[in-house]
């Protein structure tokens, strides 16, 4: 298990071996996070698609109940009872439909944003960091080589080195900041997301309980007595 801590900004400013090691750990952690969030997103999407299929088939089942009811039009008790059962089942279908819609709008949308926006932004910044790190190494080498040649060449390479170092430094700070924000933000968001999803289910079961234990009691007693 990789335990990820915030990257030290002081080490970042020094571009120390400690910083580079922290950076390697962070990029490995981001890769793992991306992979597991993708699996989570795929599973969530599968749940939603299966749920939509369930709702569609449930709708067909409801239609078949009403179709059967028509065969008992002459029997008032059976005709009205099947109609009443159909109404309750229709409300149950609406609850399931709402559950899967909220799953899509809440969980799947948030996971997609984490993957497509948050992590991608950090990874793009990482690519820029690697490119500028390479440019900085080249500038250092050229400056070292130029010190052995003519003074005007040395002056030019020195200016390039200063500019490259400045650009690399700003990029390092920005990259480190984005990594730290990503970890802290996602820890909070994942907790809030799943807490919200549990509450969605809590509301789903509460509404279902009210429907089937309170609203149906009177109607079922009437039907039973008939």
- Give the C-alpha distances (Å, rounded to integers) separating 197 from 44, 61, 109, 219, 225: 12, 28, 12, 33, 41
Structural domain includes residue 91? yes
Residue 199's domain comprises 34-225
Q: Report whether pLDDT(25) > 80.
A: yes
Q: Are the C-beta atoms of residues 92 and 216 closer than 8 Å to each other?
A: no
Residue-level pLDDT at 57: 97
| CB neighbourhood size of 104 (10 A) | 17
What digits encode the pLDDT tens for the residues 168-194? 999 999 999 999 999 999 999 999 999
Tokens of 135: 């440019």
What digits encode the pLDDT tens for the residues 103-152? 999 999 999 999 999 999 999 999 999 999 999 888 888 877 766 666 66
Structural domain includes residue 49? yes
Structural domain includes residue 61? yes
CATH, residue 221:
1.20.1270.60
Confidence of residue 39 (pLDDT cuts 50, 70, 90): very high
The candidate with the shortest Cα–Cα distance to 160, out of 141, 177, 178, is 141
More confident residue, 13 or 38: 38
Instruction: Please tell me the total count of domains within the chain.
Output: 1
Please tell me the distance from the alpha carbon of residue 65 to that of residue 56, in angstroms, as a whole number: 15
DSSP H or E run through 92: helix 76-102
What digits encode the pLDDT tens for the residues 56-113? 999 999 999 999 999 998 888 889 889 888 998 999 999 999 999 999 999 999 999 9
- Give the C-alpha distances (Å, rounded to integers) separating 182 from 5, 8, 10, 226: 12, 15, 19, 64
Structural domain includes residue 24? no
Structural domain includes residue 2? no
Residue-level pLDDT at 158: 82
Structural domain includes residue 65? yes
């Amino acid at each position: 298990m990789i335990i990820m801590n915030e990257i030290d900004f002081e080490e970042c400013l020094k571009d120390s071996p400690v910083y580079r090691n922290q950076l390697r750990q962070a990029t490995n952690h981001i890769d793992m996070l991306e992979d597991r969030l993708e699996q989570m997103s795929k599973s969530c999407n599968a749940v939603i698609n299966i749920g939509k299929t369930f709702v569609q088939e449930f709708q067909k089942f409801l239609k078949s109940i009403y179709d059967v009811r028509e065969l008992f039009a002459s029997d008032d008790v059976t005709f009205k009872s099947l109609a009443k059962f159909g109404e309750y089942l229709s409300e149950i279908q609406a609850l399931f439909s709402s559950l899967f819609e909220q799953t899509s709008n809440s969980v799947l949308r948030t996971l997609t944003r984490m993957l497509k926006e948050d992590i991608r932004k950090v990874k793009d910044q990482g690519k820029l960091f690697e490119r500028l790190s390479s440019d900085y190494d080249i500038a250092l080498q050229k400056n070292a080589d130029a010190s052995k040649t003519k003074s005007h060449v040395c002056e030019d390479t020195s200016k390039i080195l200063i500019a490259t170092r400045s650009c690399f430094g700003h990029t390092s700070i920005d990259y480190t900041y984005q990594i730290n924000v990503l970890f802290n933000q996602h820890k909070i968001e994942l907790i809030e997301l799943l807490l919200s999803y549990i509450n969605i289910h809590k509301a789903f079961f509460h509404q279902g309980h009210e429907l089937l234990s309170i609203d149906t009691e009177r109607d079922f007693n009437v039907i039973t007595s008939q």
